[in-house]
Amino acid sequence: MKTRIAEKFSTLFATEGEFFASAGRINLIGEHTDYNGGYVFPGAIDKGIMAEIALNGTDKVRAFSLDMDEYVEFGLNEEDKPHQSWACYIFGVCRETIKRGGKVAGFNTVFAGDVPLGAGLSSSAALESTFAYAINELNANGIDKFELAKIGQSTEHNYCGVKCGIMDQFASCFGKEGSLIRLNCKTLEYKYFPFNPEGYRLVLVDSCVKHELASSAYNKRRQSCENAAAAIRKNHPEVEFLSDAKRLWLDEVREEIPQEDFLRAEYVIGEVQRVLDVCDALERGDYETVGEMMYQTHFGLSKLYEVSCEELDFLNKLARKMDVTGSRVMGGGFGGCTINLVKAELYQDFVDTAIQKFTERFGHAPKIYDVVISDGARKLQ
Ligand code: ADP
Ligand code: MG
């Protein structure tokens, strides 16, 4: 990828620049916990965006996307927002840097990536954090990594119409090879945990379906969580978010809230605990427990939180049947991928069988993405 970028850069701009990169992400466990003030547990992956960049002494950005095979030029003023959606990410990062008092000098860039788009691995965060990091370095702005993540998040909010949380950009900026990062979504405190699953592989199976329920169902889930938290808060005023509640406290209000809200809350409170249990297990190198927790999360997402779907339950059941160590739906639900922790010796059989059985059942093949936990935003030497 680096060679292709360098060739194009030199053809277009007749100079050389510096190389920067960042990564997509997975979330091992901790789903639908972010807006409940709980933990998420992401890590950066070995699929990302790479860019060659050089300041050009103008007030313009000249950008070429190798994957889109498209050149865009824009100014750094608010009115210069480009039409191409990929360029809006770069423009947004520039604008958000300026908003925070950073300097953004005009630059030339050629970039490419290998995060599958829209598959739930956050290619957009990889793109944002590559440029947020590079612009910060090239202009010596000294903005800290957390703020770089927020630059990416605000880019999604203000320039791309996606009201996302902070997890994707956080993981992409803070990611480290061999580590997952537990982020407390209420306090934004974070901690690295070792993830070196020797003898296991992480593989995503992408159902390639997206059921339309997603956004209305999401709003309903949020409302249920708030209802349950409000009921618990009457007895325990310290409960700001649902994740602050103990399981027993939920049982106290069982009769007061609709059954549906109870089940949603039961999932969330369980999930917050599972993240903690997984972190403990990782410190012991106990990947079997990690896997078991992933199955419990899938069960919760499917039967209590009800955000799975036939395709994902099928993949999860197949994984269980084949003795895959851990498997669960990853992301908001109603489609997308399962994330699987699988013993190396079982890997090929699992992947082949998943492709064959899924295709027989649903008429199209799933996609397979192998991932290794890797570094996030960085300058390349
Ligand atoms: P994801 O879940 O992968 O983040 P999004 O829809 O949020 O999906 O972001 C995908 C968008 O990010 C693409 O439509 C494109 O505009 C931009 N993008 C991601 N990767 C690349 C790339 N390699 N080259 C150009 N644009 C990219
Ligand atoms: Mg995205």
Please say whether the beta carbons of 166 and 156 come within 8 A.
Answer: no
168 part of the active site: yes
> What pLDDT, on a 0 to 100 scale, did the predictor assign at position 216?
83
List C-alpha distances in Å: 287 to 80, 284, 343, 371: 50, 9, 10, 16
In a domain, residue 124? The reply is: yes
> What pLDDT, on a 0 to 100 scale, did the predictor assign at position 132?
98
Q: E strands along the chain, which residues?
A: 18-27, 39-40, 42-55, 60-65, 70-75, 107-113, 179-184, 190-194, 200-210, 326-329, 335-343, 367-371, 378-379
Rounded distance, CA 48 to CA 284, Å? 30
> What pLDDT, on a 0 to 100 scale, did the predictor assign at position 163?
85
Distance from residue 115's CA to the centre of ligand 2 (Å): 11
In a domain, residue 324? The reply is: no
In a domain, residue 232? The reply is: no
Domains identified in the chain, total number:
1
Of the CA atoms within 13 Å of residue 89, those in its CB half-sphere come to: 21
Probe residue for ligand 1, chosen from 25, 72, 127, 164 as the CB with the greatest number of ligand atoms within 8 Å: 127
225's CB contacts (< 8 A; 6+ apart) are 35, 36, 242, 261, 264, 265, 268
> What pLDDT, on a 0 to 100 scale, did the predictor assign at position 215?
75
**Signed CA dihedral, 200, 206, 211, 216: sign only:** positive
Q: What is the CATH number of the domain that holds 57?
A: 3.30.230.10
Any ligand 1 atom below 6 A from CB of 109? no
Distance from residue 88's CA to the centre of ligand 2 (Å): 13
Please say whether the beta carbons of 268 and 226 come within 8 A.
Answer: no
- Residue 245: alpha-carbon gap to chain centroid: 26
Q: Which atom of ligand 1 is nearest to the CA of 160?
A: 7
Any ligand 1 atom below 6 A from CB of 120? yes
In a domain, residue 218? The reply is: no
Q: What percent of the chain shows pLDDT beyond 90?
A: 94
> What pLDDT, on a 0 to 100 scale, did the predictor assign at position 347?
98
Q: Which atom of ligand 1 is nearest to the CA of 84?
A: 16
Radius of gyration over alpha carbons of the chain, in Å? Answer: 22
Q: Which atom of ligand 1 is nearest to the CA of 86?
A: 16
| Predicted model pTM | 0.95
Please say whether the beta carbons of 6 and 247 come within 8 A.
Answer: no
Domain hosting residue 37, numbered range: 2-194
Sites in the chain below the pLDDT cut of 70 = 214
In a domain, residue 348? The reply is: no
In a domain, residue 130? The reply is: yes
Rounded distance, CA 317 to CA 336, Å? 16
Rounded distance, CA 262 to CA 267, Å? 9
In a domain, residue 294? The reply is: no
In a domain, residue 227? The reply is: no
Any ligand 1 atom below 6 A from CB of 118? yes
